[in-house]
């Protein structure tokens, strides 16, 4: 039997869900402000030090906090308004500097895809289009995205799940290092 929800119930659910997404973005922006405020004091590892401080306060994983920061850095207020009907996890896993990812984001918005559908299409595009193989950053981000999904219940042993945050942290360090060095040609391959 299909349940028909009243309009006011549907509207309330939409408003509450929008509040969640908006809170995630506000939290990310707040973290960026804290990182900026401490950058002169903390120096080179400021971002990681601020994130570690919040791990102790909030009792959440490093990669979760990092994703809030990264998403807030990538999407300004205008972009958030433009993609307001897109799930937060899609924004989190989209790099606005990559044209193919933005094309996919626009399609996701137009078609009303779930984050799962977006992830499946992105994987297919990523591995089938040779243009997407030149830049190592999307590959690292794609691996990170898939590793985040391992935290869901896949029946993995706790010893494997316990190592995921460390691997995620290493990937983030690699990504930051790659971003700081200009890459020419296609000498880097995965």
Query: What are the tens digits of pLDDT across the range 130-142?
Result: 555 556 666 666 6
Assess if residue 128 is contained within a domain.
no
Cα separation, 108 vs 120, in Å, equals 11
Q: Is 43 left (phi over 0), alpha (psi -120 to 50) or beta?
A: left
Assess if residue 149 is contained within a domain.
no
Position 183 scores a pLDDT of 46
Assess if residue 45 is contained within a domain.
yes
Assess if residue 41 is contained within a domain.
yes
Assess if residue 188 is contained within a domain.
no
C-alpha distances out from residue 54 to 18, 37, 43, 178, 181, Å: 24, 15, 18, 25, 29
**What is the residue range of 49's domain?**
1-74
User: Residue 156 has which token pair?
Assistant: 């993995």
Q: How confident is the model at residue 34 (pLDDT cuts 50, 70, 90)?
A: very high
Q: What's the pTM?
A: 0.61
Number of domains in the chain: 1
pLDDT digit string, tens, across residues 108-166: 899 888 888 888 888 777 666 655 555 666 666 666 666 665 655 456 677 776 777 77
Assess if residue 120 is contained within a domain.
no
Assess if residue 52 is contained within a domain.
yes
Assess if residue 133 is contained within a domain.
no
């Amino acid at each position: 039997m299909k349940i028909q929800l009243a309009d006011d119930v549907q509207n309330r659910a939409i408003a509450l869900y929008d509040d969640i997404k908006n809170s995630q973005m506000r939290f990310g922006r707040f973290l960026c402000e804290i990182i900026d405020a401490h950058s002169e004091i903390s120096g080179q590892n400021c971002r990681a030090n601020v994130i570690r401080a919040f791990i102790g306060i909030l009792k959440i994983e490093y990669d979760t906090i990092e994703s809030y920061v990264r998403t807030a850095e990538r999407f300004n207020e205008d972009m958030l308004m433009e993609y307001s009907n897109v799930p937060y996890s899609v924004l989190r896993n989209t790099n606005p500097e990559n044209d193919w990812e933005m094309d996919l984001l626009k399609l996701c918005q137009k078609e009303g895809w779930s984050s799962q559908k977006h992830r499946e299409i992105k994987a297919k595009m990523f591995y089938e289009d040779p243009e997407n193989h030149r830049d190592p950053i999307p590959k690292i981000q794609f691996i990170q995205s898939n590793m985040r999904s391992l935290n869901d219940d896949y029946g993995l042993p706790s010893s494997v799940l316990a190592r995921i945050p460390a691997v995620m942290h290493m990937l983030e360090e690699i990504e930051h290092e790659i971003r700081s060095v200009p890459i020419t040609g296609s000498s880097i391959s995965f």
